[in-house]
Amino acid sequence: MASQSQGIQQLLQAEKRAAEKVSEARKRKTRRLKQAKEEAQAEIEQYRLHREQQFKAKEAAALGSHGSSASEVDKETQERIQKIQESYQRNKEEILNQLLSLVFDIQPEIHKNYRMNGL
């Protein structure tokens, strides 16, 4: 009877450890997703700054000769930024779902070098 009780206690402890590991994995996943989002936002901001610099350079070059070309460059830049934002909005859910499926859809399998007893 004592060995049964001890076996039950071991099972309960193993279940508790497994629950802790799952909880920790979820926390790590959440941190990774947050980090990926922050990196994406930083990349967007960096691209926006780069495009602004390009625009200002084109504007300065064109200001002396063509006043209207600066507004055309500004319009083109705004259109491209809008396209990038739309692409981001359109694809962020799909990418997030792909990341989540990679994290949650784990296919456990026996390693090819594993040997069964007696084989």
The predicted pLDDT at position 118 comes to 54
Q: Which residues of the chain have pLDDT under 70?
A: 1-2, 64-68, 70, 117-119
pTM: 0.39
Counted residue by residue, the chain has a size of 119
pLDDT for 119 equals 54
What's the pLDDT at 53? 94
CA nearest 39: which of 78, 95, 90, 97? Answer: 95
Distance CA 59, CA 111 (A): 61
Residue pair 111/81 in contact (Cβ under 8 Å)? The answer is no
Q: Provide the pLDDT for residue 109.
A: 84
C-alpha to C-alpha distance for 106 and 39, rounded to whole angstroms: 25
| pLDDT (0 to 100) of residue 4 | 80
**Which segments of the chain does DSSP mark as H helices, in order?**
2-63, 67-104
Residue owning tokens 């390693």: 111
DSSP label at 115?
A: -
